[in-house]
Amino acid sequence: MSALARPTHGRMIGGVCAALAQRFGTSATTMRVIFLLSCLLPGPQFLLYIALWILLPSQDKTRTAW
């Protein structure tokens, strides 16, 4: 199980959907569609996206030099 981090490649805006897609083993496109559909429902989905964008580290910052 890998740490949740925003990838440097394959992200569109902030990389949150791509990070969640990697974590849950689905495609980034599927996760983006799910997010867009969830925005049609009432709730703080957009605020959650922004919070994850701020809180999740970028993948290049989580790599360790061996």
Confidence (pLDDT) at 5: 86
The β-bridge partners of 58 are 6
Closest CA to 16 of 63, 61, 57: 57
Q: What is the pLDDT of residues 9-62, one digit of tens each?
A: 877 888 899 999 989 999 999 999 999 999 999 999 989 999 999 998 888 765
| DSSP for residue 57 | P
Q: How far is CA 5 from the centre of its chain?
A: 8
Res. 64 pLDDT band, cuts 50 70 90: low
Q: Is the pLDDT of residue 4 over 90?
A: no
Confidence (pLDDT) at 29: 93
Closest CA to 50 of 13, 21, 24: 13
Q: Where are the domains of the chain?
A: 1-58
Confidence (pLDDT) at 62: 58
